[in-house]
Amino acid sequence: MRLEIGNFYVREIVFGDTLKFEQGILTINKEAALDFIREDERITEAELYIAKPGDDIRMCPVKEAVEPRVRPDGRSAFPGYVGELEQAGEGMTYALKGCSVLVVGRHWGGFQDGIVDMSGEGQKYTLFGELQNVVLVADTNEEFEKREQQKKNDALRRAGHRLAEFIAGCVKDLEPEEVENFDLEPIIKRAAEIEKLPSVVYVMQPQTQMEEMGYNTLAYGWDMNHMVPTYMHPNEVLDGAIISGSFMPVSSKWSTYDYQNCPNLKALYQEHGKSINFLGVIMSNLNVALEQKERAAIYVAQLAKSLGADGAIVAEEGYGNPDADFIGCYVALEDAGVKTVGVTNECTGRDGQSQPLVTLDEKCDAIVSCGNVSELIELPPMKVVLGELEALGRDGFSGGWADDEILGPSVRPDGSIIMENNSMFCGDRVCGWSTKTMKEF
């Protein structure tokens, strides 16, 4: 399966009369884009903004991030979700690099929504503070979930994907600046020199804990709570087959942008044929009941062993209850003779003294930490707030609170904030973006 991604590098985004891309400048006709968004009758209020690195802008509650993409042959960039169900992972896809579509709620954030700062101390906490962003701030008629801690955010998430494909349409007939090639041979038909290398599989554990449909990560539009772990070609993950869900404390979240650009996958591709034999992806899930967790771990270990994996990397979206899936999968792989490395964040409390994962095992002796979700962060006010900063100051918002007997409210009268790292949108970057490091004292 061969995937080609034609890249167009966005150096600046402006509003203008015509949707176009010229010499690194992406021009968007705001009214035409908003008219397109409003075709979904659930969108009751919508506005577009531009947020670039260095701007005195804070966004909250951020719900989704998507890289603008389009397929020149007319297939949907997000098959089975906002377009017809087609095979992803092969052929040509065009991508606008260095930018994203950020979806921000006009009101009422929740457990899975977060913050992005475009400058100052807060900028470093998320990847999206470094990008050129088209920001959709919108509200919907989904009254039933506004005051709920857990939100499907369906209208807003779909609006972001539709807008990303709409914007990328301007490069459909252009020649990309560069083309990235992702070509992985069938597993049983590889050259002898590749077969001699250690075989490695990447195990992804997206958030799929909700039994009710609409919250979980999607594979080709299908709710992954209804799946057992399966093999996927890495090209499918990079090419829009996986859509981010809306269930996870937000610093732990994997946005659709993370799937489209997953650095861990790209690093494994780069080492394929050099230091490793990259087998592909075991796409697992996260469950609630113990039996479901054990079943998934059995599937993952069986798949890895059947594929002939010598080693595995397991990446977990989330913490808390999902730690049991993460550790269970890790142990099952080790028991199957597959040397395993885990990648996750940890919840060690505001003082850093609590147990990092809900459950642990002595066999899990190679875990990469992406940081402490409970670490306290204080940030000064910003001149511009897109969305509703007060969302952070409600109990139930990931990492924020209405009031604390010691720390006071998360949102202070002057617009400065105090919160846990939990509130940073996709801030722990488990897919491989993280610039954090460990220090020993």
Q: Is the pLDDT of residue 229 over 90?
A: yes
| Triad 100, 102, 108: Cα angle to 5° | 170
Arithmetic mean of pLDDT over the chain: 95
Give the model's confidence band at 94: pLDDT under 50 very low, under 70 low, under 90 confident, else very high.
very high
Sole residue written with tokens 């402490």: 372
Identify the pLDDT of residue 249.
Answer: 85
Average pLDDT over residues 106-111: 88
Q: Which residues of 170-190 are buried (b: 16+ CB within 10 A; e: fewer)?
A: bbeeeebeeebebebeeeeeb
Return the pLDDT at 46.
98
Residues 6, 25: Cα–Cα separation, whole Å = 17
Given this model, what pLDDT does residue 108 score?
Answer: 86
Dump pLDDT digits (tens) for 147-186: 888 889 999 999 999 999 999 999 999 999 999 999 999 9
pLDDT digits (tens, 9 = 90+) for 390-416: 999 998 888 999 999 999 999 999 999
Residue 74: pLDDT band with limits 50, 70, 90: very high
Establish how many alpha carbons lie within 13 A of residue 365's alpha carbon, considering only the half-sphere containing its beta carbon: 4
- In which band, very low, low, confident or very high, does the pLDDT at 253 lie, cut at 50, 70 and 90? very high
pLDDT at position 434, please?
84
Encoded tokens for 135 = 């920001």
Q: What is the pLDDT of residues 311-353, one digit of tens each?
A: 999 999 999 999 999 999 999 999 999 999 999 999 998 988 8
**pLDDT tens figures, 120-151:** 999 999 999 999 999 999 999 998 888 888 88
- The number of beta carbons lying within 10 Å of the beta carbon of residue 395 is 10
pTM: 0.97
Q: How many residues does the chain have?
A: 441
Cα torsion through 390, 394, 397, 399, rounded to 10:
90
pLDDT at position 379 over 90: yes
Cα–Cα distance measured from residue 358 to residue 319, given in angstroms and rounded to the nearest whole number: 8
Higher pLDDT, residue 356 or 169: 169
| SS3 of 156-218 | HHHHHHHHHHHHHHHHCCCCCCEEEEEECCCCCCCCHHHHCCCEEEEEEECCCCCCCCCCCCE
* DSSP for residue 64: E
